[in-house]
Structure 1
Amino acid sequence: MKLKYRGFNFSLMQKSRYLIFFIAIILSFCGNKKTNHRPELFRLIDHLKAEDIVMSPLKELPDRDTDYKKYYPQCSVPLEDFGIEQNPFKLVRKIQLKDQEFDVLCAPSESEYSFPVRLPENPAFEFGIGLLDNESPEGHGKSAQYNAAGAAFVVALESKGMQKILFQKYIDLSLAQKTGLVSHHKINLPPIKEDVRLSLKTTGDPKAFAFWFNPVVYNRNPDNINIILISIDTLRADHLGCYGYERNTSPNIDELASDSAVFLNTYSLSPWTLSSHVSMMTSLVEAHHQVSREFEKINPSLVTLADMLRKSGFYCSAVTGGGYVSYLYGFSQGFNQYIQQNEGIRKNLSAAWTFKQASNWINENKDKNFFLFIHTYQPHTPYSCPKPYNTMFLDKDAKWHYIDYYSHLGGAEGIFNPHSEKEKKNIIDLYDSEIRYTDEKLIKPLIQEIKDLGIYQKTMLVFTGDHGEEFYEHGGWFHGHSLYNEVLKVPLIIKFPKSKFAGRNIQNIVRLTDIMPTILDEINFETDGLKLDGKSLVPVIKGKEKKERVVVAYK
């Protein structure tokens, strides 16, 4: 049999051979990864090598193990996050200042770094510059001689043997102190296809610590997803409308739930904040992460959700209430910036503060692939949100309009003063008011913000809580000392990009440890090599997994 195609004659056998040949070519293109992949986000500090250090006083030190420490701020520690390749001379560090911790590249006087970079299609370079007083761990000058201290910062682009200065600025230490020590800058780069080098140079007075804050090259407006993980402290699932509560405590959370997959039987693996959040961020049960007491912290050898997302090209930040979710417990691992509200547990406007910080950060980083972790203590005692929320569910003759009920319940641990049914209801009413305030001042404006910015459909939004609260259902109050449902059952609402799986209510038992692998599954991150106790929830949503998952909780 002969076939004629565009002037050529093929026998059937010849046609088959050519068909197989062309299919093989197509499969080879589909199956192979691009070898010249241009990353959506490239962190310079993650890739610092010794050969990138063109100039540094540390290179000339005779005893580097002891002498180099004097070149770093006392309020800093070496960066040990997953993915840091070398960190020569411990130049890449985390600096702790007031209410935040962030990643920096230290730049002692007369330093220059030159990084090889492959620019993305629509490149931008973002960075911060800052100074600290080398006499003060908190960055506050102590004498007039430091008023003259300062440093010059220069950014240059090197391509084909030519160098072009893109940015230069001198910062006086006294001025830096007045403006918060760090100034932020962004430069749109030319879309050069060839590999280039970015040069970061500092010169100035050695009396001041100079540093580069989170320098990154990224692709503006990448076609990918953003991830927001919201943890509301002390939030019971059965006090939300979307979980069947009769009160209107959560109209905006309920609206989010209608656009999401809702897991009706989600369990925390610990009845208190620290251990529960470690499980959430590592996908490990307490027996494996080993953080069970208030003086313990995350071991840097453990891999966190932020570590994995950072490795995947996400710019990672957090806004939290501090306390047991403080960077002091190791939660900042993997995050470029970790903002916390000191004593957030005592602030009656915590939810509003959290939204303001999150909103500012999202607006500054909306053109990146980002991961933002949000946490607030708002529903945690003391119950003290402002009017009209504090009286929204109260009886007219309610005894308390504000209560820190730790002091009211009294007694030794596990032994409480008696309260009437009316007093119990009063306390629950105030708890519900805190939920409504959180719904109105954090969830509502946050969702509206990402819609207004045009990133709602590309955002994966995970809403949950770390544990619940007892209201004497089993003879106890508070949390942390029992494993009843009122303490362990928490909400889990996942809005996927493009509202995938919207409207699905899942009855299967799931755990907070399942959040991390679900997020990684959504971005197609391979988890086979990771030691995780949780599993992706996508098979559960699709109905492919019928067997109930095992919950192992600790107190």
Structure 2
Amino acid sequence: MTNKPNVILFGIDSLRRDFMSSYGYYHQTTPHIDKFAEEGVLFEKHFSPSIPTTPAYASMLSGRDCFGTDVVALRHKGPMGEGTKTLAEILGDNDYNTTCVGFSNNPSARGFQKYLDYEAWLPDETGRCPKAENLNDVAIPELKRLQAEEKPFFLFLRHMDPHSPYMPPRPFERMFYAGDEKDPDNKSMEPVYNFKPHADFFKSWIPKGVTDKDYVIAQYEGAIAYMDACIQNIFAQVEELGIEEETLIVVTADHGETLYEHECYFDHHGMYDNCLVVPLIFQYKGRLPEGKRLTDPTLIQDITPTILEIIGIETDLPFDGRSLVNMINGDGPEPVAEFYITECTWMRKHGWRTPEWKLIQALEPDFHFKPEIELYNLIKDPGENRNVADEEPEVAALLQKRMKAYIAKRERETGRVNPMYTNTGYHGFGEEPMEDSQQAYETMYLGSITKAKGLQADDKKQTVK
């Protein structure tokens, strides 16, 4: 047994918590993670405030917010913010072996000693992509190698099954669907295929002739269930190796997913709650409570400081997140009441979320032709379907004031301009902001699976240092 505990962090891409049976979803999508949660601590209201992938993982793996990391865009240029250290770097400095699976091409994955990749985009000869099995093929041998070493280890696993394209293998592709996906009378996929920026991407992986949106949503559900079954292989391996009592295991996600909501089809843009809600579950047998569920809101930047306190590593590094150990033990900290939210995916927007209200403000015109200001009452309208900005101008003004005050405070504390104001080239189509929504609609074309995969790939030299 090592002196310090091992850490396995499942950083699942695009997993929204409200589609997990662990969190009450009506389909049993995550039976193995459900059992895992019953033996650990589950946070019911965990949020990822800065989407998409790159800023979310930057916060998850550094304990900093987007001002601290200086990262807000998917295609971030350059390193993370000055003075920011990743969890991999911190643990490496503390004599850990560190391995990252599935995330070698991104600045937010900086600092691991070893990177392993697997196929998580392109279909096999069956037209499906067994993403989680592909991950297991490299992750399980690496887990065995790490366990055999004299040092404690940190293993980061980026599962991609809930990330589009949703291509779970049989029988998971029909596990939650019994209809006729090619019913000619069903018109629900017409707006999806008519959305020019992403239509060719959808057509490159959704089977030809599919007319029913519920079939595609069932692919997302099936992908989660398939991944859950494969994750059980890793849980079983930990048990087989006899290290379950010396290993902290964390299950979380970088952001959620939009399925058919808000016209942001089968992607993760739009700062609606479907993109912000993610799971967070800790299990450390004999060290953390079992079956505990906590209802206070938590943020993605809380993960790194929490892991460090649980495993007993002290650092003088600045964190914007807070350790949740006291919350787990029942004595604080004070809950997060409101927070800043950002997006630089296909739209550049920021906003402010409170328990009752959500303000979304566009920093340039978006390709969905949405208004500059959106305001939703999260109590009366939890689905965020009715924009009340015109009806509640005082509320919108108050939230803008609070957001601007927070931005000014964080700019003073970090000594740098809000990165939301400077990342005008976030979309990869030039550096100038879009002049109007029509220009954005005509310009931001996603293309095939291969092109979409390439958008997430950057110069590896900036990552593996």
**TM class, shorter-chain normalised?**
0.5 to 0.7
Aligned to 1:339: 116
Contact 1:243 1:264 in 2 (8 A): yes
* Residue from 290, 298, 313 that aligns with 1:510: 298
* 1:482 corresponds to which of 247, 255, 270: 270
**Deviation of the 1:365 alpha carbon:** 1.7
2:73 equivalent to 1:289: no
Contact 1:345–1:378 (Cα < 8 Å) also in 2: no
1:338-393, Cα deviation, whole Å (9 max, x unpaired): 1123x623351111111121110111121431000000211111122211111111
Deviations 1:175-229 (A, max 9, x none): xxxxxxxxxxxxxxxxxxxxxxxxxxxxxxxxxxxxxxxxxxxxxx424311000
Q: How does 1:280-319 map to 2 (within 5 A)?
A: 280-293=60-73, 294-299=75-80, 301-319=83-101
Amino acid at match of 2:40: S
Cα pair 1:467 1:489 within 8 Å, conserved: yes
- Aligned mates of 1:499, 1:361 — CA distance in 2: 25
Q: Counterpart of 1:425 in 2: which secondary structure?
A: helix
- Partners of 1:295 and 1:518 in 2: CA distance: 26
> What TM-score does the superposition give when structure 2 sets the normalisation length?
0.64
SS class of match (1:525): coil
Tell me how far apart the structure 2 counterparts of residues 246 and 252 of structure 1 sit (CA, whole Å). Answer: 15
2:143 corresponds to 1:362: yes
8 Å CA contact 2:49–2:300 kept in 1: the answer is: yes
- Aligned match for 2:130, one of 349, 354, 357: 349
The answer to whether the aligner puts 1:411 opposite 2:195 as a matched pair is yes
Q: How many residues were matched structurally? A: 320
Q: Highest Rg: 1 or 2?
A: 1
Cα pair distance change 1:463/1:453, threshold 3 Å:
same
Deviations 1:411-467 (A, max 9, x none): 2459999xxx982322211110000110112x1100000001100111100001111
Q: Is the 8 A contact 1:265 1:508 kept in 2?
A: yes
Shift of 1:332: 3.5
Q: What amino acid is the match of 1:454?
A: G
Residues 1:383 and 1:407: Cα distance change in structure 2 (over 3 Å): farther
In the alignment, which residue of structure 1 is the partner of 2:279?
491
What is the match of residue 205 of structure 1? none
Matched, 1:432 2:221: yes
Question: Structure 1: how far apart are the matches of 2:248 and 2:221?
Answer: 27
Inter-partner Cα distance in structure 2 for 1:518 and 1:237:
20
User: Which one of 37, 57, 72 corresponds to residue 257 of structure 1?
Assistant: 37
Unpaired runs of 5+ residues, structure 1, are 1-220
Q: 1:538 aligns with which of 315, 325, 331?
A: 325
Task: String of CA shifts for 1:290-349, please: whole Å, max 9, x gaps.
Answer: 2223142433752110111111221111111xxxx434525131x1101123x6233511
> In the alignment, residue 331 of structure 1 is paired with which amino acid?
A
**What is the SS of the residue equivalent to 1:530?**
coil
Inter-partner Cα distance in structure 1 for 2:294 and 2:309: 18
Q: Which runs of 5+ in 2 are unaligned?
A: 124-128, 184-188, 203-209, 344-465
Distance 1:263 1:252 in 2: 17
Q: Larger strand proportion, structure 1 or 2?
A: 1
2:11 corresponds in structure 1 to: 231
Q: How far 1:287 moved relative to its partner?
A: 2.3
Residue identity matched to 2:93? K
Identity of aligned residues (%): 30
Identify which of structures 1 and 2 has the higher relative contact order when contacts are C-alpha pairs closer than 8 Å and 6+ apart: 2
Residue identity in the other structure for 2:304: M
1:124-161: per-residue Cα shift (whole Å, max 9, x none)?
A: xxxxxxxxxxxxxxxxxxxxxxxxxxxxxxxxxxxxxx
Q: Which residue of 204, 224, 233 maps to 1:445?
A: 233
Contact 1:462 1:493 in 2 (8 A): yes
Match of 2:23 in 1: 243
Higher helix share: 2
Query: Matched residue of 2:296: which SS?
Result: strand
Tell me if the contact between 1:458 and 1:498 (Cα under 8 Å) persists in the aligned partners: no
Amino acid across the alignment from 1:398: E
Contact kept, 8 Å, 1:278 with 1:289, in 2: the verdict is yes
